A and B are shown apart, each in its own frame.
Chain A
Amino acid sequence: MRILHQIEYKPARVVGGYTDRILRVDLGKQKITIQELPPDFKNKYVGGRGYALKLIWDGTTQETRYDSPENILVMASGPLGNEPAFPGTGKFVVGTISPLTDTFIDSNIGGHFGPLLKLAGFDALAVAGISRKDVVILVDGDVQTISIAAAPVYDREIDEGALSFGDSLLKDINDGEYSDSIAAVTAGKGAFNSRFGIVNSLFFDLRRKRIRSKQAGRGGTGTVMRYKGLRGIVARSSLSKVNGNNAIDKEGVRRAGSQLKAVISKCDSQQLNMSTWGTTGLSEYMDKFHIFPINNYQYGHSPESSKLFAQVFLDKYFSKKIPDGCYYGCNLACAKGAENVRLSRGPKAGLVVGIDGPEYETVGAVSSMGIFDPHFVMEYSWYCDEYGIDTISTGVTISFFMECLQRGFLSTDDVGYELSFGNIEAADRLVHEIASGEGFGKVVGQGVARGKKWVAQKYAARNGTSEDAVMAELNKFGMEVKGLEFSMYITKESLAQQGGYGFALKGPQHDEAWLIFIDQVHKELPTLEDKANALKWFPLIRTWFNATGLCKLPWIDVRNPEAAKTAEPAKNLPTLAYYVAYLNATTGSNKRLEDVLDDSERLYILQKLINLRQGKGTRISDQIPLRAMGPVYFNEYEARAEYYDEWLQQQLGDNKAPSSPEQRHKLLMEKRIQAYQQLCDIVYEKKGFTSQGIPKHETVEKFGLTDEQARQLLKESGV
């Protein structure tokens, strides 16, 4: 490998979860520096998302876009991200200015890269600048060097793929052998040719004897990586992973970890059974409650959905009886995978591959295209990972265009071929075109927000109508907010989840607030006040997971039986107590849950300020498509007319509902729109925002965030 620039360094030792160092690389200047952090930095910004937010806040401006040289690609774990004695560690976040939303995005990701980067001496890696030629970064804690090297050339097919390039790279730098002391992140050609490129996290799985991958899927972090000319980053450390955080109180860590492992061990098999089914178990529940996003979120349920239920993947694909944790020590072990799957479509047809996944979101994305073929799900999952594109945004954008054809906004001539719901061949073709930036894929690869503009211009020019009028119609079913495509849940019947998507600072991704079952099915949030409280509390605790290097699933998807005795079982507070104990034992702090939530709120407000600076921080940016609120088109209403009529009558009380179905449909949608606006009002108040969704001075001040930039920003925002 041709080294372009290299420094020698002495790796800092991890103490209490931190090294207090950030590795900074400027690819434009080929400069590598090590930033020593002051002691209060970690107290204020925690780690993970918090570090990424602070670096982006300080290092970018209102004008910064995803492809600007000053944009920073941050990869950061947190103080709790490296502990096999506690389930669900190993997570890190990738944060940057997004090509889809033009504001901060972060996406969390499993695998070994975060822990190995930490063991190699760094709490975070921040990459700025743009390299003129493709490069890789090598962080080698063993030989104590950090290098920028010319991206190696293997062969064209390997070089274009995120998985295959990463596989070759990991062997290449270790004399042709895999090792669990080395991990990599990579981005494939699709990440360069679309706005929703992902970062793959590749690690050697000792049990499967192959390289496995996890993905930072949302918001185009891989696109930023490729635009920087960065093809891969490798971290190596042979230091022991046991007690990787070097906890202050090792016995406290062991105790907290044992308690959580016991709950998972006892309860998972009786609940969601994720250790067997992974996340695909959700498909059946979502379909049952009309939440499965079929045909671009038009219908939540289909007789065909059972073809995509967990048992199908278990019977046909998943390797059974292999504990599939994405990091050591996780007994939830939900990162399911399949071996020896023969691809039947696309340029690699005939190739036999190992496939990591699919996750529920990928299954949902395929259903959004009206496709119910499990083998296509497997292939779609593999190709998207190999190309480096987000399965969610890819599926939602394709399904948006399918609906544009369904409703006559586009014709087959515009696409070049038939593109209808359920058309596997067309969907498959489009995936490859997106990845190559060719044909209609060039348009689809821009995502829904930009796709709407493209359709509006085309339709308006052809029909002599105004673009605004067309946009108003497309906004009804173009499933994006702030520029990010929705994840895979229909929110029509859950006002709380409408807020969960609308207020989510990064855009409609459920990792900030997943309230749909608590609200729609469990009925635990009956009032607006209840929903608003949940919309404040859940994003804060979930932010903490993204700041500390932890996976949320062992907390949120395995209900501790003791939670039933608490006032708010959905918060699963008995299990959260183990997490707080783990934090204190690791870092030597003495925090309560309330303190943890305060730490998170500081990060939440900082992210809100970045959104405000980037033009995505006011009430208008929190508005959701009408389809997310209810059955926006009559065909959706008709599909569940009895249910909707009953719902409407409940709202009207003693008043009589209109006699015609069309009028009832219209009135129902008016009620839904009104409810969402009421929710906005009360949620903003709870969060300390103005009625326009802007943080008040006192809110910013409370968390010590009133620097000169914040002061100026609030002034310009009229606050």
Chain B
Amino acid sequence: MQRLVTNTDSINMPITEKTRLSDALEYVKQQYPGLHLEEGTIIAAVNLEVASLDRILKDKDTVSFLPNIAGG
């Protein structure tokens, strides 16, 4: 669904030593206002592991914002 808004599978973002996952979330929100990324409705993952929003990011980290998936 998100790809329909972004038209891309991934984007790169510049980080500093103090960049947190929450900053990445804000960055994506600003880049793509059409995405629905409200806290509580998504999970955030770093390198395929769920992570808290205050986690400091490192170079080459891959960040994903995903819907909650609980069923089938």
Residues of A within 8 A of B (CB): 267, 269-273, 276-277, 279, 281-282, 285, 288-290, 311, 360, 487, 489, 510-511, 514, 517-518, 521-523, 552-553, 555-557, 559, 561, 563-565, 569-570, 572
9 A-B pairs closest in CB distance: A564-B40, A556-B71, A270-B36, A271-B67, A557-B71, A273-B1, A559-B68, A517-B69, A514-B72
B1 touches A267 (CB 8 A): no
Contact of B72 among A270, A510, A523, A570 (CB under 8 A): A510
Extra contacts, 8 of them, besides A514-B72, A564-B40 (Cβ < 8 A), are A270-B1, A271-B68, A277-B1, A360-B72, A487-B72, A514-B70, A553-B71, A557-B69
Inter-chain contacts of B68 with A (CB < 8 A) = 271, 517, 522, 559, 569-570
Quick one: CB contact mask for B57-69 with A, threshold 8 Å, 1 for yes? Answer: 0000000101111
Number of interface residues of B (CB under 8 A): 20
Bound-state Cα–Cα, A565 to B40, Å: 8
User: B40 — which chain A residues lie within 8 A by C-beta?
Assistant: 561, 563-565, 569
* Cβ-closest chain A residue relative to B64: A288
User: Nearest chain-B residue to A511 (Cβ)?
Assistant: B72
Cβ distance A228 to chain B, nearest Cβ, rounded Å: 31
User: 10 A–B contact pairs at CB < 8 A?
Assistant: A270-B1, A285-B69, A311-B3, A522-B50, A522-B68, A523-B49, A553-B71, A557-B72, A559-B41, A564-B39
Residue of A269, A271, A561 with highest tally of chain B CB at under 10 A: A271
Q: How far is the CA of A510 from the CA of B70 in the complex (A)?
A: 11
Identity of the chain A residue whose Cβ is nearest the Cβ of B50 in the assembled complex: A523
Residue of B45, B66, B68 ringed by the most chain A CB atoms within 10 A = B68
Write the nearest CB–CB distance from A269 to chain B, whole angstroms: 7
**Chain B interface helix/strand/loop/mixed:** loop
Q: Mark B25-68, 1 if CB is under 8 A from A, else 0.
A: 00000000000101111010100111000000000000010111
Complex CA gap A514/B49 in Å reads 19
Shortest distance from the beta carbon of B71 to any chain A beta carbon, whole Å: 3
- Measured between C-beta atoms, what is the minimum distance from B42 to chain A in Å? 8
Are A270 and B71 also in contact (CB < 8 A) when A285-B66, A289-B48 are?
no
**Complex CA–CA separation, A517 to B50 (angstroms):** 10
Q: Which residues of A contact B1 (CB under 8 A)?
A: 269-273, 276-277, 281
| Minimal beta-carbon separation of A568 from chain B (angstroms) | 11
CA distance A149 to B41 in the complex (A): 54
- B49: A residues at CB distance < 8 A: 523
| Residue of A269, A487, A517, A556 ringed by the most chain B CB atoms within 10 A | A517
CB contact between B67 and one of A290, A511, A556, A559 (< 8 Å): that residue: A559
The smallest C-beta distance from B2 to any residue of chain A, in angstroms, reads 9
Q: Given B38, B50, B66, which contacts A561 in the complex, CB threshold below 8 Å?
A: B38
Tell which of B50, B67, B70 touches A270, judged by Cβ atoms closer than 8 Å: B67
Is A271 a contact of B41 with CB atoms below 8 Å? yes
Report the minimal beta-carbon distance from A564 to chain B, rounded to whole angstroms: 3
Task: Tell me if B71 and A561 are in contact (CB < 8 A).
Answer: no
Expressed in whole angstroms, the Cα–Cα distance for A315 and B50 within the complex equals: 31
Q: How far is the CA of A146 from the CA of B1 in the complex (A)?
A: 48
From A282, A522, A572, contact of B43 by CB (8 A) = A522
| A267 CA / B3 CA spacing, docked (Å) | 17
Q: Which residues of A contact B39 (CB under 8 A)?
A: 564
- Shortest distance in angstroms between A323's beta carbon and chain B's nearest beta carbon? 18
A311: chain B residues at CB < 8 Å are 3
- Do B41 and A564 touch (CB < 8 A)? yes
Q: Say how far B15's CB is from chain A's closest CB, in angstroms.
A: 22
Say which residue of B41, B50, B71, B72 sits within 8 Å of A521 (CB atoms). Answer: B50
Q: Which residues of chain A are near B67, meaning CB under 8 Å?
A: 270-272, 559
Q: Give A353 Cβ to nearest chain B Cβ, in Å.
A: 26
Cα–Cα distance between A569 and B67 once the two chains are bound (Å):
13
- Interchain CA distance A556-B45 in the complex, whole Å: 21
Q: How far is the CA of A277 from the CA of B3 in the complex (A)?
A: 13
In the complex, the chain B residue whose C-beta lies closest to that of A309 is B3
Complex contact A517–B36 (CB within 8 A): no
Neighbouring B residues of A565 by C-beta, 8 Å = 40
Q: Which residue of A lies closest to B41 (CB)?
A: A561
Given contacts A270-B36, A271-B41, A559-B41, contact A572 B48 (CB under 8 A): no
Q: B48 to chain A: which residues have CB within 8 Å? A: 288-290, 521
Q: Which residues of B contact A281 (CB under 8 A)?
A: 1
Most buried by A among B1, B3, B39, B40: B1
Q: How far is the CB of B69 from chain A (nearest CB, A)?
A: 4
A523–B49 CA distance with the chains assembled, in angstroms: 8
Q: What is the bound-complex CA distance between A262 and B25, given in angstroms?
A: 27
**Cβ contacts under 8 Å, A569 to chain B:** 40, 68
Q: Which of B3, B40, B50, B67 has the most CB of A within 10 A?
A: B67
Tell me the smallest distance from the CB of B49 to a CB of chain A, in Å. Answer: 8
A16 to chain B, nearest CB (A): 29
Residue of A nearest to B69 (CB): A517
Bound-state Cα–Cα, A563 to B39, Å: 12
**Which residue on B lies nearest to A311, using beta carbons?**
B3
Contacts of B43 in A (CB 8 A): 521-522
* CB of B4 to closest CB in A, whole Å: 8
Residue on A nearest B51 in the bound complex, by CB: A523
Q: Tell me the bound Cα distance from A565 to B41 in angstroms.
A: 11
Hey, which chain A residues are within 8 Å of B45, CB to CB?
A: 521
> Chain A's nearest CB lies how many Å from the CB of B7?
12
Query: Shortest beta-carbon distance, B64 to chain A, in Å?
Result: 7
| B70 CB contact (under 8 Å) in A360, A511, A517, A564 | A517
Q: A269-B1, A561-B40 given as contacts; is B71 within 8 A of A514 (CB)? A: yes
**Residues of chain A with a CB closer than 8 A to B69's CB:** 272, 282, 285, 517, 521, 557
Q: Which residues from A are CB-within-8-Å of B41? A: 267, 270-271, 559, 561, 564
> A570 is contacted by which of B3, B36, B64, B70 (Cβ under 8 Å)?
B70
In the docked arrangement, what's the CA distance between A389 and B49, Å? Answer: 37
Q: Bound complex: CA of A288 vs CA of B72, how far in Å? A: 17
Closest residue of chain A to B9 (Cβ to Cβ) is: A306
Q: In whole angstroms, how far apart are the Cα atoms of A300 and B71 in the complex?
A: 18
Closest B residue to A514 by CB, please name it: B72
Contact B71 A552 (CB under 8 A): yes
CB contacts (< 8 Å) of A269 on chain B: these are: 1
Chain A residues whose C-beta falls within 8 Å of the C-beta of B71 in the assembled complex: 514, 552-553, 555-557
The reply to whether B70 and A559 form a contact with Cβ atoms under 8 Å apart is yes
